[in-house]
Amino acid sequence: MHASSSPYRTLFDLSGKTALVVGAGSGIGQAAAEGLAAFGARVVCADVRLEPAQATAETLRAHGGQGEAVRLDVTKQSEVEAVVGEVAGALDVLVCTPAVNVRKPLLELSEAEFDRVVALNLKGSFFALQAAGRRMAAQGRGSVILFSSIRSQVVEPGQGVYAATKAGALQMARALAAELGPKNVRVNAVAPGVVETPLTQPIKDDPAWYDAYAQKSELGRWAQPSELVGAVVYLASDAASFVTGTLTVVDDGWLAVDGRFTPPL
């Protein structure tokens, strides 16, 4: 078979599909929007800050893609339902990336801080999963991609509530995958390792902390948001047509290797 006529060449083609990316104004969400558009998707760029979402959409259009912007506070159920419901045509892909963290020992965490993390990371994810899941189930197809974290699997001091929300989001994604499989809707989660985003800026500002995380990764560095795009495009595309209920780990070996001590060999 000639390479140009192989059906496998179109596995990652997203032409004609519409994706809603929540958190598209910066970081991983911005990169995901750019990647989906590069493979042909029309991308609705949603963010709690409208101007960054508009900037992302403008970037997509400047590179020949299809992009539009909308303001969305994912912690407000009515807003999520409205935005999901107003996406023109079919909603083929949902990517949900927003998260917040309060780094404190559990014994020092206030109720307000606990509620802030849970409201965005867990409840916001629930609102997005539910609204998109209902629409995709009704249309008989779709791919939901929820961002979890390596903290859904391993934790460190000061990350208790963040880790709990990321583990909870993963389990919600798995449950929805089981519930919507008969409707031809796939639901998967992605677990990044350490990524240079606005969320991790406080660590980057501490050279010793930043370097310690870099050295824990097997390639000795942090990830760029663009390095998460491959997982998103894959899970959105027909290349992952038999993939649901999974956790795709993009962590430079963080979960695979015990890096606290390197024994003399």
Mind listing the pLDDT tens digit for each residue in 113-133? 999 999 999 999 999 999 999
Determine the pLDDT at residue 6: 84
How far apart are alpha carbons 201 and 116 in whole angstroms? Answer: 19
State both tokens at 218: 């097997």
Fold type of domain 10-250: Rossmann fold (3.40.50)
Greatest alpha-carbon span in the chain: 64
**Catalytic member of 8, 162, 213, 234:** 162
Main-chain phi, psi angles of 67, to 5 degrees? -145, 145
112, 113, 116, 121 alpha-carbon torsion, rounded to 10°: -150
State both tokens at 157: 């001091």
CA 203-20-225 angle, 5° bins? 25
How far apart are alpha carbons 162 and 150 in whole angstroms? Answer: 11
Is 162 a known active-site residue?
yes
When pLDDT is cut at 50, 70 and 90, the band that residue 2 belongs to is low
CA 147-53-74 angle, 5° bins? 50
241, 247, 251, 255 alpha-carbon torsion, rounded to 10°: -140
Determine the pLDDT at residue 32: 98
When pLDDT is cut at 50, 70 and 90, the band that residue 262 belongs to is low
Q: What is the pLDDT of residues 162-183, one digit of tens each?
A: 999 999 999 999 999 999 999 9
Determine the pLDDT at residue 153: 97
Higher pLDDT, 12 or 260: 12
Determine the pLDDT at residue 70: 98
Q: What is the pLDDT of residues 42-56, one digit of tens each?
A: 999 999 999 999 999
Q: Write the DSSP assignment of 203-230 as a string of letters.
A: HHTSHHHHHHHHHHSTTSSPBPGGGGHH
Mean per-residue pLDDT for 184-209?
90
Closest CA to 190 of 14, 19, 32: 32
Annotated domain spans of the chain? 10-250
Strand order in the sheet with 42-47: 66-71, 42-47, 18-22, 93-96, 142-147, 185-192, 247-250
pLDDT at 3 > cutoff 70: no
pLDDT at 259 > cutoff 90: no
Mean per-residue pLDDT for 225-242?
98
